[in-house]
Amino acid sequence: MALPTSVWAADYARAPFGKTPDGVAVEAVTLTNAKGVSATVITYGATLQSLIAPGRDGTKADIALGFKDAQAYAKNASYFGASVGRFANRIGKGRFTLDGKTYQLALNNNGVAALHGGAKGFDKRVWAITDIKRGPVASVTFTHVSPDGEEGYPGTLTATATYALDEQNNLTIRYGATTDKPTIVNLTNHALFNLAGEGSPDGAMGNVLTLAADGYTPVDAELIPTGEVTPVTGTPFDFRTPHVVGERVRDARDPQIVVGRGYDHNMVLTGKAGGAPRLAARLADPKSGRVLEILSDQPGIQLYTGNFIDGTLVGKSGRIYRQGDGVALEPQHFPDAPNKPAFAPVRLDPGQSYSNTMVFRLTTDGKRD
């Protein structure tokens, strides 16, 4: 016999979220718990549209950048909170070879690289809700079937994105995929966070970041990894101890900061990939006490400081988003991995299952600024 809804602390609610320009209905699912945390995810791009977190005094804020309706997401190619794929991040020259055959993808990144799955990647598809639950953990699963040849990728790929919120303030995102012929896959979530609250006047550069990364992958002028791994010691990329994000984001003495216009680099996580998610990053706002810890089972995490947000986007709270208004921490495989033999492989064959599990853990720091 089913228990009455009132006994479940973790719950969900469904609501319309508008329509795409071609008339496809978009739905929003809001997961909530008894601690005041909630996450809203929309079917357009299986996108994390909102993440509400309380501060040390209980004051709640939405810490995820985003828009107020489906039309705004369709209009603005921002990737805010989106599930990106088939291959997140960049592939140099939009080209890779698999079993002797070369595949050419759309050059949707300044005409020199493929970015985040192509001109119409997973972030621009309306996913289907295939499971939804309330209980000790509230969750929703989205599914997108990408046909063979979509955006130039081989194989029919069935991708899933499950968002689950528990009473310990953990929002877990699990990506999965299967294929019917050899292909490549690298899915992640492209949320941009500001622990002071999205649209806050001072942006996110006052957030304090800690990263469990001893190295990073330097990039060329087109932001494609060179294939090397460089130790972070003595560089602006050393976040092994806490640093304010904005402290070194404009340090032009480091040519990698110049080429990235700030941070737009893959950090090489310590610990073994593929096991239980380990602590990868900690982002905190000293004033409110909000803390976001990110646990990951992936080999890398892309650090991006919103360098290309140019003041032309209006966020959901009516504030203009500018450079530095959000920090992305995207657990994933390394960029351009299909073309870099030294990087962990991203090939997926029939009969195999791809997975990427990340945990967004919300806590508070009792210390006042």
What is the 3 state secondary structure string of the chain?
Answer: CCCCHHHCCEEEEEEEEEECCCCCEEEEEEEECCCCCEEEEECECCEEEEEEEECCCCCEEECECCCCCHHHHHHCCCCCCCEECCECCEEECCEEEECCEEEECCCCECCCEEECCCCCCHHHCECEEEEEECECEEEEEEEEEECCCHHHCCCCEEEEEEEEEECCCEEEEEEEEEECCCEECECEECCEECCCCCCCCCCCCCCEEEECEEEEECECCCCCECCCCEECCCCCCCCCCCEEHHHCCCCCCCHHHHHHCCCEEEEEECCCCCCCCEEEEEEECCCCCEEEEEEECCCEEEEECCCCCCCCEECCCCCEECCCCCEEEEEECCCCHHHCCCCCCCEECCCCCEEEEEEEEEEECCCCC
Per residue in 109-151, pLDDT (tens digit) is 999 999 999 999 999 999 999 999 999 999 999 999 999 999 9
**Model confidence at 211: pLDDT above 80:** yes
Question: Is residue 190 flagged as an active site residue?
Answer: yes
Question: Is residue 330 flagged as an active site residue?
Answer: yes
| Mean pLDDT value of segment 78-102 | 98
**Model confidence at 369: pLDDT above 60:** no
| Mean pLDDT value of segment 82-99 | 98
Indicate which residue of 144, 190, 265, 333 is catalytic: 190
| Mean pLDDT value of segment 211-231 | 98
Mean of pLDDT over the chain: 96
What per-residue confidence (pLDDT) applies to 247? 97
pLDDT band, residue 5 (cuts 50/70/90): very low
Per residue in 312-346, pLDDT (tens digit) is 999 999 999 999 999 999 999 999 999 999 999 99
Per residue in 67-76, pLDDT (tens digit) is 999 999 999 9
Residue spans of the domains in the chain: they are 5-364
pLDDT band, residue 7 (cuts 50/70/90): low
Q: 5-364 maps to which CATH number? A: 2.70.98.10
Question: By percentage, how much of the chain surpasses pLDDT 90?
Answer: 96
Indicate which residue of 150, 151, 293, 330 is catalytic: 330
